[in-house]
Amino acid sequence: MKTVKVKVYEYAELNDEAKEKARQWLLEGGMDYQWAWEGINNDSESVGLKITEMDPQGQGRSDGRFIGSAIETALKIVKEHGKTCETYKTAKAYLEAVKALGEEPEDGWSVSEEARLEDLEDEFLRGILSDYRINARKEMEYVESEEYMAETMEANGYTFTKDGKRFG
């Protein structure tokens, strides 16, 4: 039997080149994006939005639908999201546009008013899906940031050889 001694380093002890290699290792196999998606999905569903398709990396289209009504979703967002959040701003603008239409008359909306309300709902849906896509992209960028990766490697006690290869 042979005993080999290997000097190992924590991420913070590595030089810049070795840190880059360690980050590549984590990106290639150690990153778990599922929790980020679950957080966004759970948040959207809690306010009444079901996201069915999203590509946070690309400029592609997101798709989804309201679980209840658009107004219910907007009211929940205004109540539960902070005023600086883009979803809050989008929901608030939608509610103000609906309010500008006035109360629904007893004999119902006119065809043009009904069409305008549908247009507002469609605009709100596209806007809120875009807000969630942007939030997802920001979350992914954070997860891929040096700061987050360093925290992850240190919290998990990962060790590396001097050149940044994962040890253990």
Q: Look at residue 105 in the predicted model and tell me its pLDDT.
A: 66
- How far apart are the C-alpha atoms of 124 and 50, rounded to whole Å? 14
Domain housing 139: 32-143
Calculate the alpha carbon distances from 24 to 85, 136, 143, 145, 162 in Å: 32, 21, 13, 11, 15
Residue 153 lies in a domain: no
- How far apart are the C-alpha atoms of 80 and 74, rounded to whole Å? 10
Residue 4 lies in a domain: no
Tens place of pLDDT for every residue, the chain, 168 residues? 899 899 999 999 999 999 999 999 988 876 666 666 788 899 999 999 999 988 776 666 789 999 999 999 999 999 999 999 999 999 999 999 999 887 666 666 677 888 888 999 999 999 999 999 988 888 888 888 899 899 989 999 999 999 999 988
Residue 10 lies in a domain: no
Residue 20 lies in a domain: no
Q: Look at residue 68 in the predicted model and tell me its pLDDT.
A: 94
Residue 24 lies in a domain: no
- How far apart are the C-alpha atoms of 66 and 48, rounded to whole Å? 6
Q: Look at residue 139 in the predicted model and tell me its pLDDT.
A: 84
Residue 157 lies in a domain: no
The number of folded domains in the chain is 1
Residue 11 lies in a domain: no
Residue 42 lies in a domain: yes
pTM of the predicted model as reported, rounded to 2 decimal places: 0.77
Q: Look at residue 138 in the predicted model and tell me its pLDDT.
A: 86
